[in-house]
Structure 1
Amino acid sequence: MCLTLTAAERPRLKKMAYGHKTGHQARQRATVVLLAARGRGNARIAAETRLHVDTVRTWRNRFAQGGLPALADRKRSGRPARFTPVQVAEAKALACQLPAETGAPLSRWSCPELAAELTVRGITDSISASTVRRWLREDALKPWQYRSWIFIRDLDFRAKAQRVLDLYARTYEGEPLGPDEYVLSSDEKTSIQARCRCHPTLAPGQARAMRVNHEYGRGGAVAYLAAYDVHQAKVFGRCEATTGIVPFMALVEQVMTQEPYASAKRVFWIVDNGSSHRGKKAIDRLAARFPNATLVHTPVHASWVNQIEIFFSIVQRKVVSPNDFTDLDQVRDRLRGFEDRYNATAQPFQWKFTTSDLDDLLARLDRHTLADRHQESSVALAA
């Protein structure tokens, strides 16, 4: 029996037979049908494809009866399910509980630990970790992962955050900033260590990453204080033995005694709530030394609003890691050299988080807080 192919079937069969991404079985079946369409007998097709003649006959007949869809595998009953839906649900419910709540001396569940716990509790006779992992994957459950979070405890969070975001948009108290007003983001990067490796660092080579010896001698540590002009993309930094009021004021002195900041109408210093510049005393101290300087605090636990943290992350990646310095002088020289390199080509950060995004964030947090309180109340009532 010679098969007759339609104009639509032939190119699809050829794609199945010769496509690079086609599965092996689909390729064989398509080849059988194409050879049969050329008038070849089953024995000859079997010889050319190295298939059994019964296999050739099977796929030839299936195509003749059902066309292209008949080349797919038929549904099979498969092996009877070993675990019931109730057992699967109990395993997922266990994964959604903290181990401490169940009496297990663990901080997080892993698939092997869950499998062992299911057996101990008599939910299953025996079960493999891979089976548990497959069940959890169905609902994207990953009890071995965790994310930290913190409540907003600054009562003026929105007002403080909005003030900072407005400054990034060159606005203060509803009025646009003038050309002689500047915004600086400042903070300290503490304890940059000089780690002298016991063996020299090896440069990278073909198919080989740079190699840094694990053992090192301690050469002390320095604090790196920096101020970043968010609109001019210019960094001013200095190294100090430690942080504190005196080192921070030395950084302020370094910046405010040079132009254009010395003769500016106003210079806003955005800082977090660290001890070097915390509270109204710091505001008064700065204003007394430089009347055109205004200290603006970020909300408590909101250093992510401070753009200098972005620059410090760049310093960590490009200057500090991997830490391999012979002494503190080399650390200072590297940081000063990187400042010059960065200022030569830097562009302002593309800050996209606006006050509208802030309102959305606070609204989501309020919803989560209300949901948590409702859950706590339900648990208390049930108890």
Structure 2
Amino acid sequence: MADSRLEPVVLSEDEWRTLTGWARRRSTAQGLAMRARIVLACAEGGGNVAVAARLRLRLRLRLRLRLDRKTVARWRSRFLAHRLDGLSDEPRPGVPRTITDAQVEEVVVRTLEEVPAGSTHWSKRELARQVGISPTSVAGIWRAFGLQPWRTQNFKISTDPLLIDKIRDVVGLHLAPPAHAAVFAVDEKPQIQALQRSAPVLPMLPGVPKRRSFDYVRHGITSLFAALNTATGKVIGKLSARHRAVDFRDFLDEIDRQVDPGLAVHLICDNLSTHKAPVVHAWLLAHPRFTQHFTPTYSSWINQVERWFAELERRCLERGNFCSLEALKAALEEWIKVWNEDARPFRWTKTADQILDRICRYCDRISNPAH
């Protein structure tokens, strides 16, 4: 019989794809993810000792997590004998199961089809009392079936009569931009507040998060116009005290100055009246290389600059402490500068047909008599 320490591991394309997916899971070091990493490392070559050393160096495991040649040998031999099936856990002795299939079904059905009296959704303790099992068991069933009754999400379906045409237009610019042209996702973030906490911010300590006072002093507001180049990820920004149509026109002048004169410019904008004002229309007529594209109403999610605004809010503004309006403006300008030094575009993946199909599926679902 061949020595499993020396027998090479050869993976098929499907096995490699499956093992790679398992290895990326957030799992314990001794779970399925680690077994997949061991087999992938064995496929790279080397004996069990070499594979164990390579994995320890690569994963920087702590000493209490056991990964030695015996562990590698076990999973190498299990894989060679049973392939992917050999990496799963074998049946283990334990306490007999106490929850019946009927109780599992009752938990799932009640969660999906009923609500408790006087409430909008189930809690695990309330449902446990109704079914006659422990709250921990209810939580385990919810986790197994992917049920999260405490969560909710908001949405809004566009009522734009040109919804289909606008989606195809904007998504087409994301997926197949025109040649010899620059595509910008344009919008403004109005009334950004310069907030200073009423007490000094306490720094983070081991085991203690950063702390700040609940109340604050407001030192003024500013508005930020931003144009995200969808191909490069770089942003053209301009601060303004207000966000009127003339301010937007001035921002268009800034874009015109910074973009190569030989390129056509396509602007993706939402339906704010500022973007459609006569002064903006006159400016566009005087600059024929600019073309304006509008997103459907209630569909700002299709404008990529909104994703950039989310990064700005999360990484610059949400925890910011600004002692003056000038400090806020300096922080915004510094953020744009730092972003552009290492700018990367957001990758758009959904096609227009996929978006429209999903909207149609939702409309069919809510048209059902049950709703």
Q: For the residues of structure 2 that align with 1:202 and 1:108, how far apart are their CA atoms?
A: 38
Q: Distance in 1 between matches of 2:138 and 2:206?
A: 42
Q: In structure 2, what is the equivalent of residue 29 of structure 1?
A: none
Query: Which of residues 298, 320, 323 in structure 2 aligns to 1:323?
Result: 320
Question: 126, 142, 150: which one pairs with 1:144?
Answer: 150
| Paired residues of 2:269 and 2:294 also in contact (CA < 8 A) | yes
In 2 relative to 1, CA 342–108 (structure 1 residues): closer, same or farther, beyond 3 Å?
Answer: same
Kindly indicate whether the alpha-carbon contact (under 8 Å) linking 1:286 and 1:295 is maintained by their aligned counterparts in 2. Answer: no
SS at match of 2:271: coil
**Structure 1, unaligned stretches of length 5 or more?**
1-6, 9-19, 23-71, 119-123
2:249 match:
249
Partner of 2:105: 89
> Of residues 111, 114, 118 in structure 2, which corresponds to 1:105?
118
Q: Residue 153 in 1 paired to residue 162 in 2?
A: no
Counterpart for residue 370 of structure 1? 364
Q: Which amino acid aligns with 1:366?
A: C
The match for 1:52 is: none
Give the CA deviation at 1:288.
3.3
Counterpart for residue 57 of structure 1: none
Q: 1:54 matched to which residue of 2?
A: none
Provide the C-alpha distance between the structure 2 equivalents of 1:324 and 1:288, rounded to a whole number of angstroms: 43
Distance in 1 separating the partners of 2:268 and 2:240: 20
Calculate the TM-score normalised by the size of structure 1: 0.63
Report the CA distance shift for 1:208/1:292 in structure 2 as closer, same or farther (over 3 A): same
After superposition, residues 188-199 of structure 1 pair within 5 angstroms as 188-199=188-199
Match of 1:267 among 261, 265, 268: 265
Distance in 2 (alpha carbons) for counterparts of 1:211 and 1:74? 47
* Secondary structure, counterpart of 1:253 in structure 2: helix
Indicate conservation of the 8 Å contact 1:212/1:322, yes or no. Answer: no
| Contact 1:183/1:231 (8 A) holds in 2 | yes
| Distance change in 2, residues 1:136/1:320 (3 Å) | closer
| Counterpart code for 2:327 | Q
Letter in 2 for 1:185: A
* Structure 2 CA distance for aligned equivalents of residues 300 and 156 of structure 1: 9
Paired AA for residue 351 in structure 1: R
The AA in structure 1 aligned to 2:220 is G
Deviation at 1:111, TM superposition (A): 1.0
Measure, in 1, the Cα distance between the counterparts of 2:135 and 2:197: 42
Kindly indicate whether the alpha-carbon contact (under 8 Å) linking 1:185 and 1:271 is maintained by their aligned counterparts in 2.
yes
Q: How many residues get paired?
A: 288
Deviation at 1:320, TM superposition (A): 1.0
**What is the DSSP-based 3-state SS (H/G/I as helix, E as strand, rest coil) of the residue aligned with 2:323?**
coil
The change in CA–CA distance for 1:199 and 1:306 in structure 2 (over 3 A counts) is same
Q: Report the equivalent of 1:17.
A: none
Cα pair 2:249 2:280 within 8 Å, conserved: no
Tell me how far apart the structure 2 counterparts of residues 74 and 318 of structure 1 sit (CA, whole Å). Answer: 47
Which of these residues, 348, 351, 359, is aligned with residue 347 of structure 2?
A: 351
Is residue 174–residue 348 contact of structure 2 (8 Å, CA) maintained in 1? no
1:270-300 Cα deviation digits (max 9, x unpaired): 111223214x858734423533322111122
Change beyond 3 A, Cα 1:133–1:21: closer
The reply on whether 1:300 has 2:297 as its aligned counterpart is: yes
CA deviation map 1:44-77 (0-9, x unaligned): xxxxxxxxxxxxxxxxxxxxxxxxxxxx999688
What secondary structure, in the 3-state scheme, does the structure 2 residue paired with 1:96 have?
A: helix
Residue of structure 2 in register with 1:276 after alignment: 274
Instruction: Answer yes or no: is 1:334 the counterpart of 2:347.
Output: no
Partner AA of 2:268 in structure 1: I
What displacement does 1:334 show?
1.1
The equivalent of 2:179 in structure 1 is 177
Measure the CA separation in 2 of the matches of 1:230 and 1:140: 35
Q: 1:325 deviation in Å?
A: 0.5
Render the CA deviation track for 1:288-335: whole Å, top value 9, x for unaligned: 353332211112232222221232122123321202101211111111
State the 1:137 CA deviation. Answer: 3.8
Please state whether the residue corresponding to 2:113 is helix, strand or coil: coil
Query: CA separation in 1, counterparts of 2:146 and 2:176?
Result: 43
Amino acid at match of 1:246: V
CA distance, structure 2, for counterparts of residue 267 and residue 368 of structure 1: 35
> What is the rounded CA distance, in whole Å, between the counterparts of 2:135 and 2:209 in structure 1?
35
CA contact (8 A) 1:189 1:312 kept: yes
Answer whether contact 1:193 1:323 (CA < 8 A) is retained: no
Match of 2:168 in 1: 162
Q: Residue 266 of structure 1: CA displacement?
A: 2.9
CA contact (8 A) 1:286 1:294 kept: no
Q: 1:130 to 1:208 in 2, by over 3 A?
A: closer
Equivalent residues of 2:201, 2:213 under 8 A apart: yes
Rg larger in 1 or in 2? 1
Asked if structure 1 preserves the Cα contact closer than 8 Å seen for 2:233 and 2:346, the reply is no
Name the aligned partner's letter for residue 94 of structure 1.
R
Which stretches in structure 2 are left out of the alignment for 5+ residues? 4-28, 32-89
Distance (whole Å) between structure 2 residues aligned to residue 206 and residue 85 of structure 1: 45
Identity score, percent: 25
Cα 1:74–1:242, aligned 2, differ >3 Å: closer, same or farther? closer
Amino acid at match of 2:250: A
> Are the structure 2 counterparts of residues 342 and 142 from structure 1 closer, same or farther at C-alpha, using a change threshold of 3 Å?
closer
**Does the C-alpha gap of structure 1 residues 130 and 253 become closer, same or farther in structure 2, counting only changes over 3 Å?**
same
Alpha-carbon distance, 1:152 to partner: 4.1
